[in-house]
Structure 1
Amino acid sequence: MSFSTFPSRARQVHLDFHTSPFIPAVGSAFDAEEFGRVIEEARVDSMTLFAKCHHGHLYYDTEHPARHPSMGEGLLEKQIEALHSRNIKCPIYLSVQCDEYAANTHPEWRAVNPDGSFVGQKPLGNDSFTWRILDMSSPYLEYLEAQTEEVMKKFAPVDGLFFDMCWDQVSVSKWAIAGMQRENLDPASPADRALYANRVTQRYMERLTAVAAKYQQDVPIWFNSRPISNASRERQFLRHIEIEALPSGQWGYSYFPIWVRYAKTLGLPMIGMTGRFHKSWADFGGLRTPASLLYDCAQALAHGGGCSVGDQLHPSGSIDRGVYDVIGQVYRHVEKCEPWCRDVVTTSEIAILLSTPVSERNGNQCFDGITKALSQLRYQFAFIDPDADWSSYAVVIVPESLIVTPELEQRLAAYMASGGKVIRDGLPGEESPFSAVYLRFDADKRGTLADTVHVFYERGNRLVPQAGDDVLARIVEPYFERGWEKFSSHAQTPNVPETSPYAAAVVRGNEALFALPVFRAYSLHGNLPCRQLVAAALQRLFPAPAVRVKGPSYVEVTVGTRGKETILHFLSFIPQKRAATQEMVEDAAAARNLEIDVKVDGPVASVKRIIDGGEIPFTEENGRVRFSLDWLEGHEMVVISGR
């Protein structure tokens, strides 16, 4: 990559305002001066504001019947004026497929399931995050276009539009059936229904973009709730990328680290969107700790992106000063980092070929396991489309979830012929009869693992080493496969004493072959021998990575460059499962006596800490600079300046 993805505004807030029509006096306590002052003091430089919410109500002065029934003067106008006067940008939010007002006044516009029921909220239901879903092939699209046009007429030039709830919605409404039949698709076919749903989405994104363009060219528009993996194919609609990922909500802590590594390869300004909520959106009174929010924001910065924190304004319009005290603590830190984030190009030396749909063929587990293993080993990597150019990467990983076509096989062969290295995960072959086997590592392959056999909990395939192969670990099989008639003790059958003729993984020329689903197993079980197989392979294929770190594996490290500067981010946080279904961060974690070894392009003039300040002693040898951090807590940046 040779481009920076850092946005012009990196301290954003997404200010939700989904407000029931049964709540009185909406916006009555709004104080423009206090609103603007609190936001400015929190160092926010952009705030997404609501024109229309999921309830379908409008929050600006309009004759439209969907105007919120208890709102006095238009709220959006006053919010924009208060923030623009302080040089704070204000993208405008409109809900797309969630519109309770339209669904209630025009139930014929609702999306319909194949069984004839309406999509979304059931009669008498009140489930969280469940709404009545509209069908975008119905006249509702014209209704939404008219609302979008009114917003543009009233507010253009706008700082941006944020269209939410824009997934591909399958429907068998009368509108959808007629549309499928016009396009020679079979409404009874699930594949055809999905294809038509995607076509409908592409058309409404095109139409809404065209409406905005009538009043303002090149409006920054974001269609939220689309798969990030679609971004390269939907590039014509994008001016930037926002990755919604509240770790305390449905996304968890594994989602963002995967998808930021895909998004940053696309060359667009990028935002990581988290939330201040203890749980998820609309969690009034739920507030995360400053350290928790800092972790999310520091991750975004470390990968070349800006930050957005989700909040929800109280229906009265009164801003919650306590919430912005917390956001302000984090954003003052971000502001201090910004000069060292702008124009920085993030380093990626390993490319993982993305398989889509990600939910198929164990893709989610593969990518989670890859991300955890490589992050803990401090390799710099990215996820890319298989048809992208990966010639500049040192290593390409082919996950078990990817179907390797003859064309892709030819590209891999050409890449290896030119010196590239490949890791193949879950190599096809004769399936093992055992659902669990054991690994035996030689002394030079096992790293810090104990000298014993190590269980591998997933079924793999059998790989017989060839002459010249460097065997990373050998398979030791159990006495028998556990079953209802024949079993031993509580869990998997113990291993036989002798080593089998099969290998768990080998390095053969320019590629490492994993006979086992190593990354999926690491995601599912967290068993360190899985990661050690990856480490042993990469030590042989790629012995001089951008950075090496001796220290706790929870310390995350990213590398970027800007001219003669090499810029490193160090993140020291440990999410903990403190509730039945939720991980959280209360405090930053401390790490001591880290030894760091970084590849540089030339002589080094200085090594400096940015957050804590101060010069760091260093040594240089063979194109690498070595230094130590005696103390790290939370987020630190280190800048290596060339002469």
Structure 2
Amino acid sequence: MSDKYKYTYRGYLCDHHSPDPPVVNFDKLNAEECERFLKEANIDHVMVYTKDHWGNSYYDTKVGKKHPALGERDWIAEIKPVLEKLNIEFTAYYCFEYDNYITKAHPEWSCMTKDGQKLVCGMPDNSSNAKWGMPCMSSDYRKYALEQLKEVVRNYHPDSLFIDIFGKSLCYCDTCKKRYRERFGMEMPETEEDMIRYNKDLATFLDDDSEELLDEVKAELKAIDPSLAITVNFSSHYRKSTRDKLDYMYTEPWAGNWLSGAYTRDTSGGRHPQLGPGNVSQIFNYQPDSIYELAAAEIAAQDCHVFMYSESMRRDGSLEFEEAQKIGKTYREIEKIEPYLGNRKVHADVCILQSDLSDTLKVTKSIPIRSVSRTKISGKHREALLGAMKLCDYSKISWCLVPELDLDLNKMKEFKAVIIPSVAYISEDMAKDLERYVYEGGVVLISGESGLSDADGKEREEFLLKDLMGLSLERKNDDYIQNPWSAYIQPKTSPVWKHSSETTPPINGTVLNCQLTDPSNMVLYGTFINPAVGLSDTTWVNWGSPLPGEDTGYPAITEHVVGDGKVISFCFDFFALINENFIWTKKVLTDLLLYLFKPSVFLATEYVNMAEYALYEKTAENEGQQEWIFHELSACARLTGGDTPLIPGGELQIDGADISLEKVFQVFPEKKEIAFTVDEENKYHIPLNPLRIHRVYQLIGK
């Protein structure tokens, strides 16, 4: 039984989707050169194409079409012994929803648009150079693909299987329309208005199909090899019921390597997440080594297995060894820290609620047609979630995500604060748990239209968490929605504005006009100011958004004391603002969190926009001992295009009431003990060494 996927941290795919000769001829493709490449790149995990986006297979298939440039050769049979010799994990790569060959050989298997056109990659907005055909997984192509996969597993026994372009695209073929009609009792929506209105139904239909397909794949292939580990691309963006059926997780970044790594880690359920950026390498136009090194360090520091892919194969099958050298230099650094990876749990004071369902309920555009696009494009909740991640990372207070189905009262009690970022639907059970959590001393921050929808997307007239928030909804106010800044905030005297500029900060989007329901237990942090005018063809003020007008008196940000805890309510989509560069939100959230609770871990640094960190509790080698692993990184290489000046590491501050320390060591890039002090409040002050890209510390506890 192969479990290599649990222990391999240096993965790679030579991304060589290859059309037929004469464009690609493979005259110089040979296993010996690949072996040299793999050694130079210090790789321990390789994806090998079995079928690519063109529909070409790379082995002796009796079902599909073998790449004609291979002739009598079986590339999988040639390369597998090399992988075995080097003890490299062999992952079979198979592409589902792009197959240019099969849509020409069987045009009746094609996905169809609502206009009756055959769907191709890049449609409908011509977003791709490639225009591969897209077969429908509800056609007989499904049987074709499954038969090929059974060939691969039966004949080549890969350690693991990676399915690319997995899922179900929005297809208007007769079969799909019939199945939708039978499921929902209506025709499949076609207009923009109807697609937004029935977004949840469309998403459910497509997600159900994807999960049923996964069930079938697992049943067929694990009947042949029960030990086969199976995953799909973008797995962290599928709903939890689908994620839970995967053996391990693989995702490409959607919010940069650092934040995408955290998202992948926290939605993986501990199933060995991998993160694979494809933009690190630019073959023929190489980026500096530091870009490679930072990308890998960020992924590893977020407890993901590092993976990279690039188009390193030339048209004759020979390889770009400059790429191998750059990856090798990076992966030798990753290899040094592997003893400190895995078997660890992220330490966090702040929990950010992640909701699969809410991301389908509040959308402003119709559902993307292609399954891959659907994983990358989000609704209001994921935008707010992304903003919450950015703001918490800026605060230098430890944080993580928790999926909604995992967040019960016991889980909440692990954190000092819970953030609910525009979570449209909140279950009755979660509402009760939140109430108990706050009453017993917890802190909850709620933004936007959280709790204003039922599970089907129908709008509530009142907040589900009305009593907890101490607010009653009067109306959703879009009077100035056409303005870039739809309202301003008049700050009230409060420590949350401690480091903010003395001004009236702007917001955008919907304003929630609310009334206080428990004023004696509430603190008003700010009220809404309307713009002086609404923008139109005949009304404006100056070049920018109209200036602040009159104070409405409606609460913008409130604090409600409930039992021993507090609830902070933002009557607008606070967390999403940072995605549009409303920079005032950074200092406000930092000051707010520091006011609300004493963090167990805090990174004191002047480089708040550059420094990144993560802390993990690791299973200690010695019984009775506690161990933590601390990663600190400088994002300077990414921010500057490769520059890595030495910046101060700052100071790691740890509350002795939460973590008790005996010794601290820097273990990467070299090992040495770090002296620290303890103040009269039992806070540890650990001076961190200056860094260019990445340092790792080991904290030994009592």
1:620 aligns with 2:678: yes
Q: What does 1:179-578 align with in structure 2 at a 5 Å threshold?
A: 179-180=179-180, 185-189=185-189, 191=198, 195-226=204-235, 228-245=236-253, 256-257=260-261, 259-264=263-268, 266-275=269-278, 278=281, 284-312=283-311, 313-355=313-355, 356=357, 358=359, 360-361=362-363, 362-388=380-406, 389=408, 390-391=411-412, 392-426=414-448, 429-430=473-474, 431=476, 435-440=486-491, 442=493, 444-462=495-513, 466-495=519-548, 501-509=553-561, 510-528=566-584, 530-553=585-608, 554-562=610-618, 563=620, 564-574=626-636
Contact 2:63 2:147 in 1 (8 A): no
CA drift of 1:45 comes to: 0.5
CA drift of 1:119 comes to: 1.3
Contact 2:112 2:118 in 1 (8 A): yes
Contact 2:499 2:588 in 1 (8 A): no
Tell me the matched-pair count. 619
CA drift of 1:539 comes to: 2.0
Give the aligned residue type for 1:166: F
Matched residue, 2:642: 586
- Give the direction of change, closer, same or farther, for the CA distance of 1:177–1:403 in structure 2 (3 Å limit): closer
Contact 1:60 1:74 in 2 (8 A): yes
Contact 1:16 1:49 in 2 (8 A): no
CA distance in 1, matches of 2:301, 2:638: 21
Superposed CA deviations along residues 202-229 of structure 1, whole A, max 9, x for unmatched, are 2221222222112210311112245x24
Superposed CA deviations along residues 398-456 of structure 1, whole A, max 9, x for unmatched, are 11242334443223212222332210112663445551213435373323333344333
Matched residue, 2:83: 83
Give the aligned residue type for 1:287: Y
Superposed CA deviations along residues 573-631 of structure 1, whole A, max 9, x for unmatched, are 14768xxxxxx742335422612202452242234252244332211244532122351
1:632 aligns with 2:691: yes
Matched residue, 1:169: 169
Contact 1:243 1:259 in 2 (8 A): no
- Give the direction of change, closer, same or farther, for the CA distance of 1:378–1:274 in structure 2 (3 Å limit): same
Matched residue, 1:95: 95
Contact 2:234 2:250 in 1 (8 A): no
- Give the direction of change, closer, same or farther, for the CA distance of 1:575–1:367 in structure 2 (3 Å limit): farther
CA drift of 1:30 comes to: 2.7
Superposed CA deviations along residues 524-582 of structure 1, whole A, max 9, x for unmatched, are 12322x223322331233222322323211211111112322211111114768xxxxx
Contact 2:261 2:275 in 1 (8 A): no
Contact 1:258 1:367 in 2 (8 A): no
SS in 2 for 1:492: coil
Deviates more, 1:109-118 or 1:485-494: 485-494
SS in 1 for 2:97: coil
CA distance in 2, matches of 1:51, 1:292: 30
CA distance in 1, matches of 2:261, 2:390: 9
CA drift of 1:36 comes to: 1.3
Deviates more, 1:79-88 or 1:19-28: 19-28
Contact 2:665 2:671 in 1 (8 A): no
TM-score (norm 1): 0.88
Give the aligned residue type for 1:569: H
Deviates more, 1:104-113 or 1:538-547: 538-547
Superposed CA deviations along residues 167-190 of structure 1, whole A, max 9, x for unmatched, are 222223233345446657544346
SS in 2 for 1:20: coil
Matched residue, 2:452: none
Give the aligned residue type for 1:269: H
Deviates more, 1:91-100 or 1:36-45: 36-45
- Give the direction of change, closer, same or farther, for the CA distance of 1:284–1:64 in structure 2 (3 Å limit): farther
Q: What does 1:36-75 align with in structure 2 at a 5 Å threshold?
A: 36-64=35-63, 66-72=65-71, 73-75=73-75
CA drift of 1:269 comes to: 0.7
Superposed CA deviations along residues 369-388 of structure 1, whole A, max 9, x for unmatched, are 11110001122222223232
Contact 1:272 1:297 in 2 (8 A): no
CA distance in 2, matches of 1:105, 1:631: 60
CA drift of 1:74 comes to: 1.3
Matched residue, 2:8: 9
- Give the direction of change, closer, same or farther, for the CA distance of 1:628–1:113 in structure 2 (3 Å limit): same
Superposed CA deviations along residues 469-506 of structure 1, whole A, max 9, x for unmatched, are 3343454555444554443222234346x866444322
Superposed CA deviations along residues 19-50 of structure 1, whole A, max 9, x for unmatched, are 00134664331332332132123221011001
Contact 1:547 1:559 in 2 (8 A): no
Superposed CA deviations along residues 349-402 of structure 1, whole A, max 9, x for unmatched, are 322222335363522321221111000112222222323233333221111242
1:110 aligns with 2:110: yes
- Give the direction of change, closer, same or farther, for the CA distance of 1:521–1:236 in structure 2 (3 Å limit): closer
Where structure 1 has 5 or more consecutive residues not aligned to the other structure, the ranges are 578-583
CA drift of 1:255 comes to: 6.3
SS in 1 for 2:37: helix
CA distance in 1, matches of 2:21, 2:286: 25
Contact 2:637 2:644 in 1 (8 A): no
Deviates more, 1:486-495 or 1:365-374: 486-495
Matched residue, 1:581: none
Contact 2:359 2:381 in 1 (8 A): yes
- Aligned residue among 662, 668, 674 for 1:604: 662
Give the aligned residue type for 1:437: Y
Give the aligned residue type for 2:210: T
CA drift of 1:83 comes to: 1.9
- Give the direction of change, closer, same or farther, for the CA distance of 1:401–1:46 in structure 2 (3 Å limit): same
